[in-house]
Every structure is written in C-alpha cells, then in structure tokens.
C-alpha cells in the first residue's frame, strides 16, 4: 500500500540522517533519563495491566525508571493526538497503540487529531483474537447453528461487543459479509459489562477478545476464535478458518514513538520489549493472549492487513 | 465456615496487619485529594503489590479501596468538596456542620458511619454473595435505562426550592454528558474540532469544577475562610462518645442506607456515584424533620457515608462470583485476581476459599482500622485547615485542585474545562442552580442514553422496538418506581401551590 511504503521510506531516510548526524553516539547514551510510557485508556484494562507487568522488567533492562501514566478519552484518540503533536522524538516518550483503533478512528472521524502513519511503530507485542461466545445453555452448539438462525431471522440475533467500529464490531461486520447474514450488533463500553450482558441473556452472543473466553469458561461456550491457529489457552476451540469462514482478526497491542525518533533507539526499545515478552508471556499466555513481536516492516504489514480487511466498513461509517 | 476459620489466623499475622493499616492510611490520603479517585489510587499502588503473595496483595488493595472511599468524606465536610464522586451527598450536611463549628462531630459521625457501612458490606459479601449475584445480571440495557431515569427523579427532591432551576441544572448536566464520543454509534459530538474534546467532560472534572471552584471563589469574595473555630467546644475537649451514641441511636437510618448501598452496588455501572445520593434522599424522605436536612443534620451525613462504604465490599459480589466489576475500581481488582491466576466464579469460594475469605475478612479489618486512622487523621486535617489563614488556604486548595485535575488524565484541556465550569458554577449558584443536579445529569445522562439505544437496537427485528423497554418484570417495577418517585416529589408541591402555602418546602441541600 502506497501510504505506508512512502512513509516507510521517509522514516528510513530520517533515521539514516539522524544516525549520520549523531555518529553512533546516541546508542550508548540511550536511554539517559526516565521513560514516559503513556497508556491511552483507563486504569484496569488490558493495556494497563500489561504495562504494569512490563514496567519492572523494562526498568531492569533499560537501566532507567519507566513511568506509566494514563491519558484516557475518545477511545484512545485524545492521547494519540496529544502524543503526535507534542512528544519529543528522542525515544524517552513512548505510547501504547492498538489495532484496529489507530486505523479506524482517523478514517471514521473528521477530527481524530492524529494520523495512522504519524507514528513510528516499535513493536506489536501481543494479540488477542476475537472469539464468538454464547451462553452455556444457548441453542447454538456451533457457528453453523448460529449462522442458520441468523439467515432465517434477519436482525433478530443480537451480538454484543466492546465499542463501535472497534475490533469486536468490525469482526461482526466481517462475519455478516462472509456468512451472508444480518445480525444486530450492540456496543457496550469496554469489556467490563460484557459478562453481565451474556449471563443475563441481554444479548444472544458476544464477539469479544479471547481473555473473556478463558475467564468465563464454565458459564459460556466459545464457538470459534478468529486467529490463524488455535489459541494456546483455548485448545478445544476451533478457528473460524477450520470451520470454513475466512475470519481472522482481533486486537494487537503495541508501542509507538513519535516520527523522527532515531532508528537505533527504536531498536533498543524493541529489543527490551521482546525480552520482556518472554518473561511476562508465562503469565499472559494462560489468560488467552498470543505473544507477538512484529516491528519494522512487519508491523506495517499488520496495519495494511487491517486496513485492507476493514476499510470498506470504516469508510461507510464516515458520512 | 471451615475456610472462614482457616482464613482468620492468616490475616492476623503482623505483616498483614501492617499492610492493611498502611493501605487504609494511603487510601485515606489519596481519597481526600480532589481528582485522585479510588480507581487511580489502586492503579498507581498496584505495582507495590507485585512482590506480595496473592492474599497480601489483595488485602492491600482492598484496604486502599476502603480508605479512598472514606477519605472522600474529609474534604466533603471540611471544604465542601467531594474527594470522590461517592461523597457528593456527604457535602450536603457535612459542610454546614463544619461551618457551624461542628466539624469534628461531622468527621466522627462520618467515620462511625463508614466503619458500620464497611462491616455490613463485608458481612453481606460473606453471607449473601451467590444469591445477590443473580440480581446483578438481571440489570440489562432496559433496566439500566430505568435506573438512570429513577436517578434523574432525584433532581426533583434535590432542588426543592425551585423545581425549574433544578431541572435546568439537570439539563445542563445532560448536555455536558453528550460531549465527546457517543457511547453507542461512536460519533464525535460537540467537540468543535478540538481533538482533546473527544474525551468529553469527565465526571471528576465537573465535580471539581462545580464544587471546589465556586467554594474558593466565595471564600475569596468574603475575604475569610468558611470555617471558624468552634466557640463552645475546644478541640481538646471534643468528646467522641456522644457522637457515637447519637449515630447508633438511629439504627433504622443506618440499616436503610446500607440496604440501598448494597443493592445499588451490585448493579454494574451505577456504582457508588449515586448510592449516597439515593440513600441521602431516602433518609430525608423518611425523616420527621426533613427541613433540617442540608442545614447540618447528622442523619443525612450518616446516610451518605454508611451507604457508600457498603459499596466497597458490596460491589465485590458480582466481581468475585461472576467477574463483573460493580464499580470502576473493581476492574483493577479483577486484573489482580487474573494476574494471580484466580478466576472469578464459584471456585473462588471453594478451591481458593481460604484466600477469598481472607481477602473479604481483610476488608472488614480495613473497615475497623478506619476508626483510629480516621479519627486521628481527621483531627490533624481539621486543625491544619483551621489554623491556615484563608490567604494561604485558597491558593493551596486551588493548586491541589489544578494538579488533581491534570493528574486525572494528564490532559490540560481538562484543567481548562474544570476552571471554566468552576466560574460558571459560581454564577449559577448565585442564581440558585446548584452543582448536585448538574452532576447528577452528567452521571445519569450517559447511562440512560446507552441503555435506551442498546434496548432499541436489541428490538431491531420487532415491529415496535420501544416495547422492549417494558418487556420484563424488573423493568416494569423500575418504571413503577419512577412514577412513584415523580408523584411523591411533585404532588406535595402542586398541592401546596394550590393552597397558596409558600416556603413550606425544605431548603436545598449543601448550599447556603
């Protein structure tokens, strides 16, 4: 895709120029003061809990203290726009980024205040695939059961999830297209209210992240997971692909720095995060996370994939 | 029962007692600073618990939570500023008491009420958790809509001098609540092209702006501090026992408030923000002397503080049994449970029952520790506020307020909104539009909007989706309660107007 290839080239040039100017001295000096790690969401969410787990290990590896702070609002957009406008590109200011949020919001809103390609992505450090969940006493035993019902009763099946044009919502839109059904998506504010929605019978199913499937194992049935391969914490749950539905998606969480940050500092940060991943993976994998380490070109490939899969839905929304 | 007994020696170890004590003290300090919420206190102090075992870590967080909610009462009483949203109703009678020189009485009463509330909440959690958990999931979108509407009817009784002005305040709050990204649909509304406005008007920002700033502006206008030293009772001779007797002489008030606190606590989403307002309102309605509420009636204070401390343990019921956070701070606790590999559900009460019971008991212990910590701390804070001249006090409060607002989301726009709302709030107060209805509109507008749109969405396949709002017993009951509340608030007013009686309504709470 042209938008990211041109920006990659620009970033590469900027990185090369910065390297030339600093004559390699920067690598040894970095980091020279505490690192500010901004979480664009409320305390208590997955991004926050992950950052709290990363914090002590990052400090040990980078040799400086790491200050985690929260700047919630607008589904992350408040922090991301503030960051792109004001953060210093010296590697000491880093911010949590999420897919599909940073792809969707700039397309869908006129005044999101930031651009998807205005970040340097350090790494996508983990992935939580979307999962389709029904109550344990639901009549739907398989995805096919649910699809059959939805085909006969347009709009009657309600699927809850977190947020509008979020990962959950986009996956429902994708499923409608792939399975040729028409369901009603009901957005809730965050993942917190979802267990009550499904246990209280207020929605027929949930499209949510994989952690909920692990957390609520006894009360619900997970019909399918939208990853390429099965999730380690849910070994008995088939992927949508196994069942013949081409649905792969979820939320990637990662780290970005401002445009113009020297490349070797990005490399230092990435190295630290991938080593931390090894350690905290022991705690996160059993919860339903899939640990990843996509930096550089690979990171932008992920962005492009999401863009290609969902941009049609998002542009429809921008009216 | 065996597990309960097995848990007792675990939490009585010295290191546990110290942890709980420190947690309560830290929570108290944070809770008394406007802008620093219980959720933030838990998130910031969370890394300290990583080095601890599961029980100690959970006990520390439970104690911090308990202390924060209680700490909000201090500033509510002493500077008319709810330290956390759950102590809004504490300002109504607490601050008038402080102005009458009864600050220590107010603090002691708030402490006693909080301790009782905390212990009742813990007891309910131990005994009633599984049956009450069922109630939590019964509240779906339609029920939440009616809960919010029911809450909005409080405006009628919170603004008894002029219903019109109260309603106007409520509408201001409702409109403020629409700023930012809409809860359903994701459109950005009223942001005027400013990216930072996508975050909307945070409740805490409004709370600080509307309560604190008008207070310090009028303090500055008067040229003296609002509190004067008690004339008839010196600090040294203040006696705790009469207050204790006064508080426990009205058990019905406390029990009613605790029951309200418990029920509201387990409704996900409503949380402690409105428990104390509902409890306060019911206490006034049941009182033989409702006109004394808002002028320093200790019963109003007790109702507010006992109900909001029930909430701490009460909101753990849906959390521990079903993994549903009853109030925002519970989300952090849920994160910690998961980190320690503890899945909410029935196993928490069976397989890891000793740990869970230990955690619950440690919250009870934290409630008890609020007594010494609060009475001592309260005296210290009161004395320092009393002895500080107003020309130091006003700038100090202002700076703490600005820092607190900024720290909330690290957002300068929040500070500007807070100051703007503060100045507006000062003038609104002069013309008789008070902060409480505005804040209530802000809290409940979003809940009502979300409940309504989600309900209608759920009925997309029906001929008349609106019927979904009343398609089950619980929402019908709530609807009946809304009608009842409206009638009981409006009828006396209409009747008295017909008979030409003036000035019979109770005075507005919390303000001169």
Residue B318's H or E segment, with its range, is: helix B316-322
Packing angle between helix B390-409 and helix B412-430, nearest 10 degrees?
130
Q: Does B465 touch chain A (CB under 8 A)?
A: no
CA dist B13 to A145, B9, B24, Å? 55, 7, 17
DSSP output for B63-91: HHHHHHHHHHHHHHHHHS--SSGGGHHHH
pLDDT of residue B11: 87
Q: How confident is the model at residue A177 (pLDDT cuts 50, 70, 90)?
A: very high
Neighbours of A74 (CB within 10 A): 27
Quick one: tokens of A123?
A: 């790494």
Q: Between residues A20 and A277, which one has the greater pLDDT?
A: A277
Query: Phi/psi of residue A45, each to 5°?
Result: -80, 180
Determine the distance in angstroms separating the CA of A154 from the nearest CA of chain B, rounded to an integer.
Answer: 7
Closest in A69, A186, A283 to B410, CB measured: A69
Percent of chain A with pLDDT over 90: 67
Q: Does B42 touch chain A (CB under 8 A)?
A: yes
A132 has which bridge partners? Answer: A207, A224
Torsion of CA B371, B372, B377, B382, to 10 degrees: 70
- Residues in chain B within 8 Å Cβ distance of A317: 186
Q: Which residue has the tokens 């499209």?
A: A207
pLDDT of residue A13: 46
pLDDT of residue A79: 93
Residue range A101-129, pLDDT digits in tens? 999 899 888 888 999 999 999 999 999 99
- Residues in chain B within 8 Å Cβ distance of A110: 188, 193
- Overall size of chain B counted in residues: 512
Q: Which of residues 32-61 of A touch B (CB under 8 A)?
A: 38, 42-45, 48-49, 52-53, 55-56
Class for the domain spanning A129-225: alpha beta
DSSP output for B289-306: -GGGTTSS-HHHHHHHHH
Q: Which of residues 273-302 of B touch A (CB under 8 A)?
A: none
Closest in A69, A196, A218 to B137, CB measured: A196
Determine the distance in angstroms separating the CA of B339 from the nearest CA of chain A, rounded to an integer.
Answer: 7
- Residues in chain B within 8 Å Cβ distance of A111: 188, 191, 193-195, 198
- A70/B194 touch (CB, cutoff 8 Å), yes or no: no
pLDDT of residue B391: 87
- Residues in chain B within 8 Å Cβ distance of A202: 140-141, 454, 458
Residue range B24-49, pLDDT digits in tens? 999 988 888 777 778 878 877 877 77
Residue B54's H or E segment, with its range, is: helix B54-79
A96 has which bridge partners? Answer: A255
Question: How many helices and strands in chain B, by DSSP H and E?
Answer: 20, 2
At residue A264, does pLDDT exceed 90? Answer: yes
Q: Does A74 touch chain B (CB under 8 A)?
A: yes
- B48, B184, B195: which to substitute to probe chain A, counting the most A Cβ within 10 Å? B195
Mean pLDDT, range A223-235, rounded to an integer: 95
pLDDT of residue B193: 84
If you count residue pairs, one on A and one on B, with CB atoms under 8 Å apart, how many are there?
Answer: 177
pLDDT of residue B508: 45
- B51-75: b (≥16 Cβ within 10 Å) or e: ebebbbbbbbbbbbbbbbbbbbbbb
pLDDT of residue B506: 44
Quick one: tokens of B72?
A: 């909000």
pLDDT of residue A15: 45
Q: Between residues A212 and B327, which one has the greater pLDDT?
A: A212
What residues does each domain of chain B span? 2-227+244-498
Check for a shared fold between A2-128+250-317 and A129-225: yes
Cβ atoms of residues A301 and A252 within 8 Å: no
- A112/B141 touch (CB, cutoff 8 Å), yes or no: no
User: Which ranges of chain B have pLDDT less than 70?
Assistant: 1, 159-160, 225-226, 228-238, 269-272, 498-512
State the average pLDDT for chain A: 88
What residues does each domain of chain A span? 2-128+250-317, 129-225
SS (H, E, C) B464-499: CHHHHHHCCHHHHHHHHHHHHHHHHHHHHHHHHHHC
Quick one: tokens of A25?
A: 């001295």
Q: Which fold has domain A2-128+250-317?
A: D-Maltodextrin-Binding Protein; domain 2 (3.40.190)
Q: Which residue has the tokens 């914090």?
A: A55
At residue A197, does pLDDT exceed 60? Answer: yes
Q: Does B367 touch chain A (CB under 8 A)?
A: no
Closest in B43, B198, B331 to A74, CB measured: B198
Residue A223's H or E segment, with its range, is: strand A220-225
Quick one: tokens of A24?
A: 């390699």
Highest mean pLDDT among A1-15, A30-44, B267-281 belongs to: A30-44
Q: Which residue has the tokens 């070994």?
A: A235
Mean pLDDT, range A196-218, rounded to an integer: 90
pLDDT of residue A48: 84
The least confident of A13-22, A50-59, A171-180, B489-498 is A13-22
Using DSSP bridges, classify how beta strands A290-294 and A119-135 pair: parallel, antiparallel or unpaired: antiparallel
């Amino acid at each position: 895709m042209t938008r990211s290839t041109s920006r990659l080239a620009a970033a590469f040039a900027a990185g090369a120029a910065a390297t030339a100017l600093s004559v390699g001295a920067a690598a040894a000096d970095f980091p020279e003061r505490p690192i500010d790690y901004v979480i664009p969401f409320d305390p208590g969410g997955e991004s926050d809990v992950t950052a709290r787990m990363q914090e002590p290990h990052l400090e040990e590896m980078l040799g400086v203290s790491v200050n985690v702070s929260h700047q919630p609002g607008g589904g992350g957009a408040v922090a991301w726009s503030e960051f792109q406008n004001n953060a210093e590109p010296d590697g000491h200011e880093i911010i949590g980024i999420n897919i599909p949020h940073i792809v969707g919001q700039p397309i869908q809103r006129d005044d999101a205040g930031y651009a998807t390609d205005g970040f340097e992505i350090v790494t996508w450090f983990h992935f939580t695939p979307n999962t389709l969940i029904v109550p344990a006493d639901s009549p739907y035993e398989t995805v096919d059961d649910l699809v059959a019902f939805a085909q006969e009763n347009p709009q009657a099946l309600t699927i809850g999830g977190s947020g509008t044009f979020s990962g959950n919502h986009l996956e429902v839109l994708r499923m409608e297209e792939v399975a040729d059904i028409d369901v009603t998506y009901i957005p809730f504010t965050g993942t917190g209210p979802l267990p009550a929605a499904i246990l209280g019978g207020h929605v027929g199913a949930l499209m949510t992240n994989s952690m909920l499937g692990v957390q609520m194992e006894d009360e619900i049935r997970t019909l399918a997971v939208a990853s390429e391969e099965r999730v380690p914490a849910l070994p008995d749950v088939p992927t949508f692909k196994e069942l013949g539905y081409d649905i792969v998606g979820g939320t990637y969480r990662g780290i970005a720095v401002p445009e113009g940050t020297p490349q070797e500092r990005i490399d230092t940060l990435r190295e630290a995060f991938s080593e931390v991943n090894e350690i905290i993976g022991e705690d996160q994998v059993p919860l339903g996370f899939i640990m990843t380490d996509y930096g550089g070109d690979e990171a932008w490939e992920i962005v492009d994939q999401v863009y290609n899969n969902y941009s049609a839905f998002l542009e429809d929304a921008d009216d | 029962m065996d597990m309960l007994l097995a848990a007792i020696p675990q939490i009585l170890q010295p290191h546990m007692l110290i942890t709980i004590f420190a947690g309560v003290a830290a929570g108290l300090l944070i809770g008394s600073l406007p802008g620093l919420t219980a959720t933030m206190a838990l998130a910031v102090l969370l890394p300290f618990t990583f080095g601890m075992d599961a029980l100690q870590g959970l006990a520390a967080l439970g104690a911090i939570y308990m202390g924060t909610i209680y700490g909000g009462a201090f500033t509510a009483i002493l500077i008319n500023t709810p330290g956390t949203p759950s102590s809004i109703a504490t300002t109504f009678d607490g601050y008038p008491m402080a102005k009458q020189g009864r600050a220590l009485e107010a603090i002691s009463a708030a402490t006693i009420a909080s301790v009782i509330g905390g212990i009742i909440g813990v007891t309910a959690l131990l005994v009633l958790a599984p049956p009450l958990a069922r109630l939590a999931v019964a509240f779906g979108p339609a029920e939440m809509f009616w809960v919010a509407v029911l809450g909005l009817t409080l405006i009628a009784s919170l603004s008894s001098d002029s219903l019109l002005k109260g309603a106007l305040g409520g509408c201001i709050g409702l409109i403020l609540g629409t700023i930012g990204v809409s809860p359903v649909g994701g459109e950005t509304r009223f942001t005027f092209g400013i990216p930072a406005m996508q975050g909307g008007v945070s409740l805490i920002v409004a709370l600080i702006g509307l309560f604190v700033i008008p207070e310090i502006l009028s303090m500055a206008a008067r040229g003296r501090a609002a509190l004067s030293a008690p004339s008839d009772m010196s600090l040294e001779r203040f006696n705790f026992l009469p207050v204790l007797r006064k508080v426990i002489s009205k058990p019905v008030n406390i029990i009613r408030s605790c029951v309200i606190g418990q029920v509201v606590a387990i409704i996900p989403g409503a949380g402690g923000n409105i428990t104390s307002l509902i409890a306060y309102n019911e206490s006034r309605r049941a009182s033989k002397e409702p006109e004394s509420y808002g002028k320093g009636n200790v019963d109003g204070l007790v109702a507010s503080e006992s109900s909001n401390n029930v909430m701490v343990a009460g909101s753990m019921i849906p959390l521990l049994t079903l993994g549903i956070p009853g109030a925002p701070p519970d989300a952090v606790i849920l994160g910690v449970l998961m980190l320690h590999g503890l899945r909410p559900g029935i196993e928490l009460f069976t397989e890891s029952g000793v740990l869970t019971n230990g955690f619950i008991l440690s919250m009870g212990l934290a409630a008890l520790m609020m007594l010494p910590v609060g009475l001592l701390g309260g005296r210290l804070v009161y004395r320092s506020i009393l002895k500080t001249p107003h020309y130091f006090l006003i700038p100090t409060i202002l700076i703490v307020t600005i820092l607190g607002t900024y720290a909330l989301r690290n957002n300068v726009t929040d500070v500007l909104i807070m100051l703007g709302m503060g100045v507006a709030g000062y003038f609104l107060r002069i013309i008789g539009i008070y902060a409480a209805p505005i804040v209530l509109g802000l809290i409940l507008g979003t809940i009502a909007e979300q409940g309504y749109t989600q309900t209608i969405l759920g009925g997309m396949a029906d001929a008349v989706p609106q019927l979904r709002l009343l398609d089950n017993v619980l929402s019908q009951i709530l609807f009946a309660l809304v009608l009842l509340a409206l009638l009981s608030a409006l009828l006396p007013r209409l009747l008295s107007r017909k008979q030409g009686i003036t000035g019979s309504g109770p005075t507005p709470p919390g303000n001169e």
